[in-house]
Structure 1
């Protein structure tokens, strides 16, 4: 699988238990650091497309600020409601920089 990796942000700017909204190419991306594991999701709640970066992250779950939908930060699966999921993107760290493939 060949991707188009693009720099999103420096790893040292995203501490464990933090999330950050960034723009990678044409996509708004939510980066999440769950106990040192990085995840990248489209920065939109599937309910009404509200930016998830404006919500809360308790270290394991992401909560949308608009209607309080909750998602598992490791998998992107819906917790409440449980019949939805976030769109994820591959991410990696290269030379201290978080890179995301939004292609």
Structure 2
């Protein structure tokens, strides 16, 4: 089911924003003009990734610098000082229709 998030022009390039849709907390990122939507919380310690930063096409968690690819949600690097694996992020299909960012949940 497609859900409308907000107007695409409300999100500048290379920025992130959090939003909750249908009770699902999401991270919305715009990198080089493309929109990506993933889980909002880091799989390491549930820190909001909206407090992190974009590096290339990755979102980096502000807590322990775990990094996830925004395209597919895969872990790029685990948290600093930790050796065990962490889970990938869920990513969601997106589209822009009539200027509105939409996500498929």
TM-score by length of 1: 0.85
| Structure 1 counterpart of 2:98 | 95
In structure 2, distance between residues paired with 1:9 and 1:59: 24
1:21-54 Cα distance to aligned partner (Å, 9 max, x none) = 1111111110111211111101011112111111
Question: What secondary structure does 2:50 align onto?
Answer: helix
Structure 2 residue 30 is matched with structure 1 residue 33: yes
Unmatched segments (≥5 aa) in structure 1: none
Equivalent pair of 1:91/1:99 in contact (CA under 8 Å): yes
Figure out how many residues of one structure are paired with residues of the other and give that number. 99
- Alignment RMSD, CA only? 1.6
CA positional deviation for 1:59? 4.3
Question: Which range moves more in the overlay, 93-102 or 74-83?
Answer: 74-83
Q: TM-score, normalised by structure 2?
A: 0.84
Q: Which runs of 5+ in 2 are unaligned?
A: 79-84
Q: Does 1:78 align with 2:75?
A: yes
Q: By how many angstroms is 1:58 displaced?
A: 3.1
CA distance in 1, matches of 2:18, 2:34: 17
